[in-house]
Amino acid sequence: MSGTDNPYGGGSYGGQMTGSAQFGGPAAPAPAQASTPAGGLIKDTSTAAFAADVIDESRRQPVLVDFWAPWCGPCKQLTPILERVVTEAQGRVKLVKLNIDDHPAIPGQMGVQSIPAVVAFVDGRPVDGFMGAVPESQLRQFIDKVAGPAGADQAAEIEAALAEAEGLLVAGDVQAAAQLFGAVLQADPENAKAAAGLMRCMIELGDAARASQMLQSLPEEIAADPAIQAVARKLQQFEEARKLGDPSALEHELSLNPDHHETRMKLAKIRNAEGKRDEAAEHLLMIMRKDRTFDDDGARRQLLEFFEAWGPKDPATITARRRMSSILFA
C-alpha cells in the first residue's frame, strides 16, 4: 500500500508503507486515544495479547487493527471517526487498537512504517488495509468490502430461518414452522418464501380460508413469485376438492366398482386437500396401473400437479415419484 490517496491498497502488508506521519516523529503533547466504547467491539491490545485479540478473533469475524501513536496528529483525526463507524456497523467488524510506541514488535514484523495505518484481518491473516486519515465515506466502504454490505448478516439469518422452517414443515411440526415463517415476515414483510411458507402452514392446519385471505392481500409483485403461485394452485385444488362430493360416499362407490376411475380421481383430489398425500398418490397410481388412457393420461398429469404443490423434498413426492417411474418404465 502506498500513498494516502489509496485507502485500500492491494493487500500487501510486508512492503513499504508511506503516509502522513512517520514513526519516531517529534513527540507532541497528546492524550491517549479516545476512550474505548462499551460493548466489546473496540479494545486496546498489546504484543502479548495480539494473537488472541486479532488472530484468533478474526476467525470469528473481521478485525480491524488500528496502528497509532500519541504524537500522531492524523491518528487523532481518524480514531474517533473509525470508532464511530465500527460502532454503527453493529458487530460486523471489531476494532483493535495498538499503540506502536508501547508495542513496536507487531508493526515492525508487518512492515508498518507510517501511521495511521489500519489493517483488516480475516481468518487469522491480513487481507486489506489503508493509511492516513481517510474520509468517513471511505471507512464505510472499507468495512463493507471486508465484512460484506450492511444487511448481509440479516439476509443470511433469514435464509437460515427459512431453511429451518421448511425442514420443520416437511417433518410435520407445522406449528413451529409457522412461528418461524411468521418471524421472518416480521423482519422482512415482503419475503415471498416466508409468506408462501406461512400460507402452506395454514392449509396444513386446516385453515385454507385464512390462507386464501392472506393470498388475496399480497401485493401483485409478491403474488407473482413462483412460491406464492404454488400455494395459489394448492388453494385452487382445495377449493375444487370441496365441490367433488362426500368422500365417504365416493369410498362406498369404489368398494362396489374399484375400476370407476372418475370416482377414484375425485377421491384423490379430496384426500390431497385433506393433507393425506400418500392416499391421494395411491389412488392416482392405481389408475395409472390399470388404464393409462383414462382422461388422456389424466392420473399422471394430476400426480405431477400434486408433486409441484407438495415440493420436491416432500416424502410423499419422493415415494410417489419413484413408484410412478416404475410404472412408466416397466
Residue 157's pLDDT is 79
Based on the fold, state whether residues 264 and 173 are members of the same structural domain: no
Q: Is residue 93 part of a domain?
A: yes
pLDDT digits (tens, 9 = 90+) for 157-182: 788 889 999 999 988 899 999 999 99
Same-domain check for residues 199 and 279: no
Q: Which domain holds residue 33?
A: 21-147
Q: Where are the alpha helices (DSSP H) in the chain?
A: 50, 73-88, 105-110, 136-147, 152-171, 174-187, 192-204, 208-217, 220-223, 226-242, 247-256, 261-273, 277-290, 298-310, 315-328
Number of structural domains, the chain?
Answer: 3
- State how far the Cα of 249 lies from the Cα of 1, in Å rounded to an integer: 81
Average pLDDT rounded to a whole number, residues 99-106: 94
Torsional sign, CA 187, 191, 194, 199: positive
Helices 192-204 + 174-187 axis angle, to 10: 150
Instruction: Give the per-residue pLDDT at 154.
Output: 67
Return the CATH number at 209.
1.25.40.10
Selecting among 72, 165, 198, 227, the annotated active-site residue is: 72
Annotation marks residue 201 as catalytic: no
- Residue 187: predicted pLDDT: 79
Q: Is 40 found in the same domain as 124?
A: yes
For residue 129, report the phi and psi dihedrals to the nearest 5 degrees. Answer: 180, 175
Q: Band the pLDDT of 23: cuts 50, 70, 90.
A: very low
* Residue from 75, 143, 146, 194 carrying the catalytic annotation: 75
Residue with cell 478473533: 57
Q: What pLDDT is stored for residue 17 in this prediction?
A: 37
Sign of CA dihedral 177, 178, 179, 180: positive
pLDDT exceeds cutoff 90 at 250:
yes
- Residue 68 inside a domain? The answer is yes
pLDDT of 151: 53
Compute, in degrees rounded to 10, the torsion defined by CA atoms 180, 182, 188, 189.
160
Same domain, 35 and 130: yes
Task: Tell me if 81 sits within 8 A of 139, measured CB to CB.
Answer: yes
- 37-84 pLDDT, tens digit each: 435 889 999 999 999 999 999 998 899 999 999 999 999 999 999 999
pTM, two decimals, is 0.45
- Asked whether residue 28 falls in the same domain as residue 142, the answer is yes
CATH number at residue 140: 3.40.30.10
Mean per-residue pLDDT, 210-238? 90
